[in-house]
Amino acid sequence: MVLDEWPVVEDRGEAFTSVAAWRGPYGPIEYEGRTYGLRVHEFRRFVELPRISGHTFELALDIDSAESGDLELLRANGWHLADPVTVAADPWSYRDYIQGSLAELMVAKNMYVQARTGWFSDRSICYLASGRPVLAQDTGLAGRFGERDGLVLFSTLDEAREGAGRIASDPILHGRAARSIAEDHFGSDQVLSRLLARLRVG
């Protein structure tokens, strides 16, 4: 992440947001008798989150209008839906949307959760760099980052509700911690310097 392109913006919105695809370009994967599913299969586990937490959640969600059952389920549980074509029309609109958020909600694809890959979204790094904390589903990240401010992990609906409350209760603290995580782990100067050192270049 080139951090200069993602400065901290102090004015923040009230919503936990994300930009995501409901299903994506491919279906579940079968391997050795086990099915590794998509984001939709995980998201349904957390669909009650806005209703039970009392916080505002908005998704710029690429979801087909034919998914009427899931769309109704989302709306019935208090999700606000934004048009991803508008939100991510260009890099600047995308950045404005992220920086106008309170925090991100990161729900991963089922295959990443099951496989415990430690997967983390490049989108989430954009939130961190902008001083926006991330409420992230644990894909194996706990072993790397542990419990910390700025990047709050969850595996269950109750943990997601509690994590949202933690962030909303002190967004400034979590925002500063988020930027620090981006600087320490994802900044291009840090990452490329470590890579070149390992390659013994320069």
Q: How does pLDDT run across 105-144, given as a tens digit for each residue?
A: 999 999 999 999 899 999 999 999 999 999 999 999 988 8
Query: Domains of the chain: which residue ranges?
Result: 3-199
Class in CATH terms, 3-199: alpha beta
Tokens of residue 102, six digits:
């309170």
- Cβ-Cβ contacts under 8 Å for 19 (sequence gap 6 or more): 59, 60, 84, 87, 88, 94, 97, 98, 123
Task: Check pLDDT > 80 for residue 166.
Answer: yes
Does residue 146 have a pLDDT over 90?
no
Phi, psi angles (nearest 5°) of residue 4: -60, -25
* pLDDT cut 70: percent of the chain above it: 100
Mean pLDDT across the chain? 94
Would you call 198 exposed, middle or buried from its count of C-beta atoms within 10 A (0-12, 13-18, 19+)? exposed
User: Residue 48: pLDDT band by 50, 70, 90 thresholds?
Assistant: very high
